[in-house]
């Protein structure tokens, strides 16, 4: 399934719902610029290996391009274009002054040593340095990239341009101008979404069971915070599989177990579940936080959760969306649910531009305000359109994008 075809279908569905002008649909049906690079990296055995990378700059009508960099073997232009398009929608849903972009390198980082990973990170940023900038295009972490990698990239970039420019990248360590609260921001934003959904749908935390697929930056913090809020997180998984206890898991203990053993497996009083089986567990809320294309026409009918909070990007295919909607399942779409990450990236950039840094409470409060405004706008739009929340979020975003695009014409 082409991710970009899926993304463009979502655009067309929302566009026809709101009668968006064909001019705007055409503009949003292709990225403004595709940067495609190949670059050599010196390996530890002194040979050179050539890697391919991409930066897709989808649309910048609302502000500089913004979006993460992914290191993964499945990275290709189709995937990066879809992710870049969703960033444009996401930034508009939460009303932050950015366009959409995304990038990545086709690589399995688990096969690289730490110094090879550093040379790859520096090599990629050298290859795209003329296309990024604090007022142009601002990358951030995504799958298999983190604060340490952002630090190497920032150092390389600042050496290349001969001056400081911390706002060129977000998700940096605090020591290089990162923001308090950035690391947990996507999971935290997802937890706020669960809180708002619970208020609207009368869910009691202690009676609300949750399954989280993925236990990386996003899934781990989401599971941890939802557990702290009193929800019953019953299943978690990573690429090696997952564990399930219908009575709820002790998430801090699962984190210790995973750190010690490298996996969830063998965690006391649980049954093992595969990633496929986790999606079909009898829980109230499913939280996909790993890869795209997880809920498809093949398994959508077997989903038992009443709600889905998409913290991964693109976890649900178009056909699956239709099946879920018919089954009465409410899915809070990725472009809203996982926008906490880019929102705190925006705060980080604002702090970099001002050279003035905020307390963690201020970051948390401002994040909650933005997520609440975006959630309420989407929920109200869903009710007025009598449509699913994805279409509603797209309509909210496309209204704002269209306004900026037209104002420039
Ligand atoms: P990460 O690399 O930190 O973690 C990924 C997790 O997914 C790991 O636990 C890994 O073991 C697991 N995983 C990999 N393959 C799997 C499989 N087949 N089945 C189940 N689990 C699997 O990445 P992340 O930053 O947590 O990103 C996860 C998702 O969230 C991605 O779709 C990413 O685009 C999206 N996202 C991330 C951010 C962010 O701020 N990091 C923001 C918005 C959206």
Residue 15 within any structural domain of the chain: no
User: In the structure encoding, which two tokens stand for residue 80, read together?
Assistant: 């990066």
Check residue 74 and give its pLDDT: 96
Residue 363 within any structural domain of the chain: no
Burial of 169 (0-12, 13-18, 19+ CB in 10 A): buried
Check residue 1 and give its pLDDT: 73
Mean pLDDT of 288-296: 95
Query: Which of 319, 337, 355 marks a domain boundary?
Result: 337
Length of the chain counted residue by residue: 409
Residue 288 within any structural domain of the chain: yes
* Domain around 152: 30-165
CA neighbours within 13 Å on the CB side: how many for 249?
30
pTM, 2 dp: 0.96
Mean pLDDT of 118-137: 98
Place of tokens 């960033």: 87
Nearest CA to ligand 1 atom 33: 312
Q: Does 257 share its domain with 144?
A: no
Q: Does 214 share its domain with 108?
A: no
Buried b or exposed e, range 138-157, using 16+ CB within 10 angstroms:
bbbbbbbbebebbbbbbebb
| E strand residue ranges, 207-342 | 209-213, 232-238, 241-244, 271-273, 285-288, 307-309, 330-332
Strand 241-244 relative to strand 209-213, pairing: unpaired
**What is the three-class DSSP state of 80?**
helix
- CA–CA separation, 124 and 114 (whole Å): 15
Nearest CA to ligand 1 atom 36: 312
Would you say residue 369 has pLDDT above 90? Answer: yes
Average pLDDT, the chain: 97
| Alpha-helix residue ranges (DSSP H) falling in 57-146 | 77-93, 114-128
In percent, the amount of the chain with pLDDT more than 90 equals: 98
| pLDDT digit string, tens, across residues 73-96 | 999 999 999 999 999 999 999 999
Check residue 25 and give its pLDDT: 97
Burial of 31 (0-12, 13-18, 19+ CB in 10 A): buried
| pLDDT digit string, tens, across residues 99-113 | 999 999 999 999 999
| pLDDT digit string, tens, across residues 153-173 | 999 999 999 999 999 999 999
**Residue 167's closest CA among 347, 345, 341, 352?**
352
| pLDDT digit string, tens, across residues 199-230 | 999 999 999 999 999 999 999 999 999 999 99
Q: Does 239 share its domain with 313?
A: yes
Best of 100, 186, 264, 336 for a ligand 1 pocket test (most atoms within 8 Å of beta carbon): 186
Best of 143, 262, 299 for a ligand 1 pocket test (most atoms within 8 Å of beta carbon): 143
Q: Ligand 1 centroid to 325 CA: how many Å?
A: 25
Query: Which of 116, 135, 165 marks a domain boundary?
Result: 165
Q: Ligand 1 centroid to 290 CA: how many Å?
A: 4
Residue 361 within any structural domain of the chain: no
Q: Does 161 share its domain with 189?
A: no
Residue 127 within any structural domain of the chain: yes
- CA–CA separation, 240 and 214 (whole Å): 10
């Amino acid at each position: 399934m082409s991710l970009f075809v899926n993304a463009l279908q979502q655009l067309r569905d929302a566009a026809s719902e709101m009668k968006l002008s064909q001019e705007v649909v055409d503009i949003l049906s292709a990225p403004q610029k595709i940067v495609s690079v190949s670059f050599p990296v010196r390996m530890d055995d002194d040979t050179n290996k050539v890697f391919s990378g991409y930066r897709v700059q989808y649309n910048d009508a609302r502000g500089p391009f913004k979006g993460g960099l992914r290191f993964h073997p499945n990275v290709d232009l189709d995937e990066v274009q879809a992710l870049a398009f969703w960033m444009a929608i996401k930034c508009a849903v939460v009303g932050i002054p950015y366009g959409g972009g995304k990038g990545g390198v086709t690589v399995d980082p688990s096969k690289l040593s730490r110094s090879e990973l550093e040379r790859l990170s520096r090599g990629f940023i050298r290859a795209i340095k003329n296309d990024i900038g604090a007022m142009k295009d601002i990358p951030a972490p995504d799958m298999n990239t983190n604060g340490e990698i952002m630090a190497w990239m920032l150092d390389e970039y600042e050496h290349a341009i001969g001056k400081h420019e911390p706002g060129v990248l977000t998700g940096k360590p605090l020591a290089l101008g990162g923001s308090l609260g950035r690391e947990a921001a996507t999971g935290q934003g997802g937890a706020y979404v669960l809180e708002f959904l619970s208020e609207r749908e009368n869910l009691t935390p202690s009676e609300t069971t949750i399954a989280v697929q993925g236990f990386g930056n996003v899934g781990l913090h989401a599971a941890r915070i939802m557990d702290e809020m009193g929800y019953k997180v019953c299943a978690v998984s990573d690429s090696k599989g997952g564990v399930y206890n219908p009575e709820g898991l002790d998430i801090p203990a699962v984190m210790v177990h995973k750190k010690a053993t490298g996996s969830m497996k063998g965690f006391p009083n649980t049954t093992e579940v595969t990633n496929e089986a986790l999606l079909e567990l009898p829980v109230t809320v499913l939280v996909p936080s790993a890869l795209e294309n997880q809920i498809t026409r093949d398994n959508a009918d077997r989903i038992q959760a009443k709600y889905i909070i998409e913290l991964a990007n693109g976890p649900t295919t178009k056909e699956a969306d239709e099946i879920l909607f018919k089954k009465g399942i409410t899915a809070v779409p990725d472009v809203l649910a996982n926008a906490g990450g880019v929102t705190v990236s925006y705060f980080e950039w604002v702090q970099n531009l001002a050279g003035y840094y905020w307390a963690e409470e201020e970051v948390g409060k401002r994040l909650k305000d933005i997520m609440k405004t975006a959630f309420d706008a989407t929920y109200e739009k869903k009710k007025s359109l009598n449509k699913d929340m994805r279409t509603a979020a797209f309509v909210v975003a496309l209204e704002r994008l269209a306004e900026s695009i037209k104002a420039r014409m």
